[in-house]
Structure 1
Amino acid sequence: MNHDVAVDESCIAAFRDLRGKREVNAVVYLVTEGTDSDVLAVGEKGNLTYEELLRALPADKPRLALYDLPFATPDGTRHHRIVSICWIPAATDDGVKSAYRHAQTALAEAVDAEQMTVVATTPSELEYHHLTSRAQ
């Protein structure tokens, strides 16, 4: 895979849906190999529970996901924070790992929004309580 990653306009539109619509709280992206550069494309989007989001991340294939993470602070105040998850299973080829890391950066630059970033190689790194403790 190439190190240059082009962010398709549909990826930016999906992010806008995530930020602006209540019926979309998760977007899962995938990187496809192009001739001159890799291309980030929307794989799935919708209103997913956290468990459904985790099931949308294949155990053996990397994905990039944006998720509007709901959580409560210790005093009970409810919050939401957009989390950028770069899911890269440990057995992933180094070139593919690099492509997904570059895609995460390219997407963050394209949407120009503050978000918490996570790179995970094992499911335990994506446990809900780990993310919510970082989000606070």
Structure 2
Amino acid sequence: MAMAFKMATEGMSVKEECRRSFMEMKWKKVHRYIVYKIDEGSRAVMVDKVGGPGEGYEDLAASLPTDDCRYAVFDFDFVTVDKCQKSKIFFITWSPAASRIRAKMLYATSKQGLRRVLEGVHYEVQATDPTEMGFDVIRERAK
């Protein structure tokens, strides 16, 4: 147990592909969402899945495992009441109840390292089940 705590508190390194894919999503709009995972073997945060520009929020939610933690960013496009096109980027911490305690610890302690790399996130959502990160929650936070 002491070894697991030591590894969790040291945090993980963040691969360059995480920053690069985020910048492509933010500036070039080539991705709708990005899912990140921690590889315990290499002790690094890496890209797990990238959603194309035609994919939506339902695709992101479906790509998250039911028994393991993940981080995700989602580019939410919407139109305001005064007909103005807006875009907000959400950072989602997915930590389902069925995931291992060790995974929950690793993701909780490594989150800030990844967040520092992802400059330009507008909102943060933490979810333990799909209802806490539903599309209605995202839409309400953006307005």
* Correspondence for 1:46: 51
Distance in 1 between the 2:64 and 2:115 partners? 19
Shift of 1:81: 0.6
Separation of aligned partners in 2, 1:97 and 1:124: 19
Query: Where do 1:54-133 residues align within 5 Å?
Result: 54-133=61-140
Q: Structure 2: state its 5+ residue gaps.
A: none
TM value normalised by structure 2: 0.83
Tell me by how many angstroms 1:18 deviates.
0.9
TM-score, length-normalised on structure 1? 0.87
User: How do residues 29-40 of structure 1 correspond to structure 2 at under 5 angstroms?
Assistant: 29-34=36-41, 38-40=43-45
> Which letter does structure 1 place at the counterpart of 2:47?
V
Paired AA for residue 44 in structure 2: V
Aligned residues of 1:84 and 1:104 also touching (Cα < 8 A)? no
Query: Is the CA contact 2:33–2:73 (under 8 Å) kept in the aligned structure 1?
Result: yes
**Contact 2:88–2:121 (Cα < 8 Å) also in 1:** no
2:90–2:121 CA contact under 8 A, matched in 1 = no
RMSD: 1.8
Q: In terms of Rg, which structure is larger?
A: 2
Q: Per-residue CA shift, 1:67-114, capped at 9, x if unaligned?
A: 101233344533211100111101222321122123332111123334
Distance in 1 (CA, whole Å) between partners of 2:65 and 2:40 is 18
Partners in 1 of 2:119 and 2:86 — Cα distance?
21
Matched-pair identity in %:
29
Task: Summarize the Cα distance change of 1:70–1:122 in structure 2 as closer, same or farther, 3 Å threshold.
Answer: same
Q: CA contact under 8 A between 1:7 and 1:41: conserved in structure 2?
A: yes
The residue type paired with residue 10 of structure 1 is E
Give the AA of the match of 1:46.
Answer: G
- The AA in structure 2 aligned to 1:86 is T
| Shift in CA distance, 32/120, structure 1 to aligned 2, threshold 3 Å | same
Tell me whether 82-91 or 107-116 shows the greater mean CA deviation. Answer: 107-116
- The alpha carbon displacement at 1:135 in A equals 1.8
